[in-house]
Each structure stands twice: as C-alpha cells, then as structure tokens.
Amino acid sequence: MKYCIKHQTDGQIHIILPYRRLTDTEADVLYYGLLETQDVISAHVFQRTAAAVIRHKKGAAKKILQRLNDLDLHSQEAIDALPGVSARATNEEFKDKAATKILIRLAKRTLLPFPLRAVWTICNGAPYIREGLKDLFQRNFSAEIVHASAILASLLTRDFNTASSIIFLTDMGEMLEEWTYKKSVDDLAQSLQLNVTQVWKQGEDGSLIKCSIQEINDGDCIHVGMGSMIPLDGVVVSGEAMVNQAALTGESVLAAKRPESTVFAGTVLEEGELVISVQAVSGKTRYDRIVQLIEESESMVSVTQSRAEKVVSRLIPYTFGTSILTGLLTGNLTKAASVLMVDFSCAIEVAMPIAVLSTMREAGRNQITVKGGKYLEMVSEADTIVFDKTGTLTNATPVVEEVLALDGRDENEMLALAACLEEHFPHSLANAVVKAAKDRSLSHEELHTAPNYIVAHGIISTLNGEKVVIGSSHFVLEDEGAYISEEDREKVLAMPTQYSRLYMAIGNRMAAVIGISDPIRPESTQIIQSLRDAGIKHVVMMTGDSDRTARAIAEQAGITEYYSEVLPEDKARYVQAERDKGRKVIMIGDGINDSPALSAADVGIAIKEGADIAREIADITLSGKELEKLVVLRYLSKELIDRMNRTAWSGIVFNGAILLGGIAGLVSPGTAALLHNMSTIGLCLNNMQNILPEEDEVIL
C-alpha cells in the first residue's frame, strides 16, 4: 500500500494515503488490518481525508511500517475477513447524524420566523408527550413521563424556545447514548467472533482432508467430531449428535441433530459426530446472533447494576411529585419544569451497561473473552480457584520426549498412528503428539475407521480390522485389558518418572508408550502468589494424572491442596461442594474432561488453546500463552465494580444538585436539560475509558 508519513514519534505515526476519500470498505480494511497488528495500541482512520493515526508500543515503528507496506486495501481475502458490522462505520454514521441535527437546529433558529418555529416545536414535542401519556396511563413511572411533562409545561407557558431546547437536548442525549452503547456492543461482539482457521473437508470418496476454512465453498461437506466447534452454518448430511447451542440460544438442554437438521456456526458438538453440508461459508451470519444475544442476555447485567436500577426507579415518582409540589407552592411553572428535567435513572440505565461492555471489550483486547457482566462481578467476589493441571498450570505446549515402541513395533509408525488418532480431538497432549509427528516429517493418512473419544479415558478406533486404543494406563491396561509382556513392562517402568505417559494398544496388545514432558509454566508460581495477594484465599489443583506427577507440579506452583487421578465428575462434585460451603468458586481448565466442573463453578474459565467444548461451556476464555491474564482479569473485575458504584453515586449527586437548583430557580428547564444530558454523556464517556494503565499491563 502506498502512503506518506506526515508525522512520526516513538509511539505514534500519522500517515496520508494517495486518495481523495476512502470508501467504507477501504477504511475498514485499513482500520481492522492495523488493529490486528501486534504492538498496535489504537488506530484512527479518517475516511474523508484518507489519513490515519496509529498509536503503538515503543520500538515497534519498523514493524508497523512494514505492515502498512504489506497491506492491500483491495485484497479480496482482507475484505472477506471484515466483521459483519463495522464499529468504525458505526462511529461515522453517528457522527453524520449528530452533525446533521446540529445544522438543522442552527438553520431553524436563524432562517425560520417565530410562528413557524413554534409550529415546528409543537410537532416535534407531540411524540414525546404521547409516549409520556401512554406510560402514565399504564402506571409505568418512566423517564418518558418526566420529559413529556417538562415539554408540555414549556408549551403551555408559551416558552417555545425552552421547549425546543429540551426536545433537542433530549434527542441528542438519546442519540449519543445509543451511539456509545452500540459501539460497545459492536466491539464486544467482534471479540466473540469465531477464530476457526482449519476444518476437516470430506472428499467424494469419503476421505477426510484438513484444509483452510477459506477453501470451503457452499455445498462442501465437512466432518465435525465430538468436542469440536461447528465452524460454519449448514445442514446435516449424515451422523447423529447432541449439540450445545447455549452460546446462541441460551438453552442449557442439548439439541439432537440428525440428517436434514440445521446446525449453526459457534455451537459445539458434545456427543457423536456429523457430516455437514455448508450453507454459509462466511460465517458472518453469526455476528448478528452474537449482537442479539449480548443485547438480550441477562448475563450482561451485573447484580450491582440491577440493584442500582431498582433504587433509582423508585426516585422517578418522587421527582414528579417534587415538581408538582414546587409548582403549587411557588406558582412558577418554569421552576416545576426545571425539576422535571432531572432523571436519576439515565446514569444507571445507560452509563452502567456501558461500563460493563467497555470492560468486557478491554478484557477482549487483553486476550480475555468474557461472556457476561455478571461473570466479571463474580470474579471480583471469588475467594476460591480450582486449577486443572495439564495445559493450565503446566505448559500449554507439551513436548514428546520419548516414543517407546513395544511388541516389536516400529517407533515412527507408532508415532504416526498416534498422531492420526489424536489430531481429531485437540488437547494439549494430543497437540504434542501431532507436532512430534510433523517434526519427524511423518505422514499419517486416514487408515483407521472413525475414532471414538471416551471422556477422561482415551480414543478407540479400528486399523486393518484390529482394535486400536490410546489413552491413560488405567484405560488401556485395566479397562481395555491390553496385554503387556514382562519385558515390555520393565521398559515402561524404566521411563523417566517426570514424563506424562500416553499408552497405545493394537489388537489388545501394548504397542507403544509415548513419554511427554509437561513442564510447569514458568509464571505459575508468581501467578498463584499474585492471586493470593489479590484476595483469593483458597487455591486448589486437580488432575487425572498420577499422584507422583501431581505432587511435583503442586510443590513447584506453591499449591498446598491438590487431588490426583480424579475423573471429570470428581472435579464437578468438588466444585459444587465448595459452593455449598458458601464459597465463590472459579474453575479453570482446558480439556473436554474439565467441562462438568466448568459448568458447576460460579465462573468457568477455559484456556483458548484447549478443547472447543471447554471454551464454549466456560464463562470466560483466556489466551493459553499468558496465565497472568488471570491477575489482569481479577484487577479489571474489581475496578469495574468500583467504577459502577462511582457512576451510581455521581449520577445521584449531580442530578440531585440540578433538582435543588431548579427548585431554587437558579436553573432554567433548558439549562437543566443540558446539564442532565451532559452529565449522563460525561459518565458514559468516562466509562468507555480503559481501566488498565496505558501500556495495558498490570504489575504482578
């Protein structure tokens, strides 16, 4: 892309593009292309002047300029990747609306004679009065009644200028409130968009090929296995499954899917497997569903917000009564109208949701996806956190250290077969096996039948008529009864004790044991201590691994309470038992076997690089590479609650002052309307500001 640098400092670049004006698409490609660039803090694209200002971390200028050089504003791939609704375009739309309203008002005040202005004001005020009367007859004491009364009082006193000002300021206030709310929803919805890059495409001969999602066209068939997210909308061609659609419908009951059933992108297949004929390759239809879910979901409303809304809703009748009393005692309708312009509910009903949405958006920019404001509040109140070990406290990228072939088998052949089975059910250990095969340049064609995943145990399939099982020692040696010779048993016992072991049997005979190094994350010890410093009193680790491995990891992490060799139901029972004791529990995990516990906790937190089903069930998702985001999350949640409390008190105090000014005759109705709306907008703008420091870091 061609551009000219107009101004540059160590932290900001101002560029101008060789266009008279950018189209909506060009502006969006530039804006989102910059936002997705590492080390970019913020980007502002000026569509009319074809310019942009990029704020970035210090020392990243060279990388940003290289990104600008590589960016193609007319690339079809970049255009296809744009979100369904553009937050940037939303800003431009509302800026135009605001400018238009201001110009119309100026033109009306300067060009129209007084009689026409009076008629215009009466016509514009009629809808407000109608809505107010409607709520009054329904005994719904809303802000609309207050506004309608103020407008009506001004019209009855023939104070058309005041009535016009009240209408204009109320209209502008509502528009600006809608703007800030919609922008927050758009930003949040984009952070919840799907991030699926590869799918299993079914060929005409029934074979499965892993390919990029960009290569999928309408009518192509894709295979989705148990525990995986459905990446695209479509219709089931074959197979039966139970699908978790809670992310789109809010329903907790699994939906049965059979041939000819419709499935939706973003839902998770919990049981069974499906072959799906794709009908919406872009996946953008999901955006509208996410926005609708955010706007309708009760989970967006925190307990603090609900409590504040109930308090201020009780103040509306008192505001109305105070206005009537002021009018009766003073005989001055202007004073009564000034009192009517005070609406205590606006700051709560508008500014507080924006605080929640903005914090969720900020969390998203820090690789933390939060599905509802109430979960942030629960994180702030939590006193107990339960960690799964593998892929959570330990490194998110385990490494295969040893492949021990048994029963005369070939080491590379066993690793290739294990990778072939494990790649269908991504998990930290499975990913390690697949990567090891790739590093050795081992091809692993689909020679086996469709694999079947047994939660917390392993995988069963068939190869050349022989049963193949891979998983834990308990599953392979005890449940499946695989035979192992004494000589091979001695070899297994001689493997280093720090390895996690993956057992594989073919034809009911042990064929290989894969030793996987699963080191603790270097930051885990510090994270545990930081969480304790932040008020988490009870830290627990639970794992299905052996007691030997669990003890070593717990000691390194500084955790005194741990449980080993536990099943998924054991984790869920423990979490529920802690909640029954009155504790607020956070559960964090990354695997399919963590799903029951994630559901049972007050707040379930999943690791992004873990299983799809864990991310779908969880209330919050963290980037798997940075466990310190837990501390950032705790900090954000506590600051959000403080911000919401400040918003409630600020709104009450400021509007109370306006009310007293109106009673005293110090504030006219127009001024009261201006002050009220400006205070609400000011609180909204304040609540849209980032909580974290400028460098987006929290000192641990």
Amino acid at 194: L
Phi, psi of 461, deg, nearest 5: -150, -170
Which residues are part of the catalytic machinery? 388
Amino acid at 119: V
Exposure string over 316-344, b if 16+ CB within 10 A, otherwise e: beebbebbeebbeeeeebbbbbbbbbbbb
Residue 98 and residue 92: Cα distance in Å, rounded?
10
Phi, psi of 237, deg, nearest 5: -95, -45
Residue 163's closest CA among 672, 694, 693? 672
Residue 512 and residue 640: Cα distance in Å, rounded?
52
Residue 380's closest CA among 644, 571, 182, 600? 644
Exposure string over 184-197, b if 16+ CB within 10 A, otherwise e: bbbbbbbbbbbebe
Would you tell me how many other CB atoms lie within 10 Å of the CB of residue 623?
A: 15
Amino acid at 443: S
Check residue 239 and give left, alpha or beta (phi > 0: left; psi -120 to 50: alpha): left
The full DSSP string for 87-136 is HHHHHHHHHHHHHHHHHHHHHHHHHS-HHHHHHHHHHHHHHHHHHHHHHH
Cα angle for residues 606, 607, 611 (degrees, 5° grid): 85
CA count, 13 A, side-chain hemisphere, 672: 33
Would you tell me how many other CB atoms lie within 10 Å of the CB of residue 615?
A: 25
- Where is 669: in which H helix or E strand? helix 669-687
Check residue 333 and give left, alpha or beta (phi > 0: left; psi -120 to 50: alpha): alpha
Burial class (CB in 10 A: 0-12, 13-18, 19+), 114: exposed
Residue 214's closest CA among 75, 364, 74? 75
The full DSSP string for 495-545 is S-TTSEEEEEEETTEEEEEEEEE-PBPTTHHHHHHHHHHTT--EEEEE-SS
Name the residue with tokens 């559901």: 599
**Radius of gyration of the chain from its Cα atoms, rounded to whole angstroms:** 30
Residue 466 and residue 673: Cα distance in Å, rounded?
80
Check residue 391 and give left, alpha or beta (phi > 0: left; psi -120 to 50: alpha): left
**628-to-82, 250, 598 alpha-carbon distances in Å:** 30, 30, 19
List, in sequence order, the alpha helices (H) in 212-371.
246-249, 285-296, 303-313, 315-330, 333-340, 345-346, 352-365
Burial class (CB in 10 A: 0-12, 13-18, 19+), 137: exposed
Residue 211 and residue 232: Cα distance in Å, rounded?
14
**39-to-62, 97, 530, 620, 691 alpha-carbon distances in Å:** 11, 33, 25, 24, 18
> Do residues 336 and 326 touch, judged by C-beta distance below 8 A?
yes
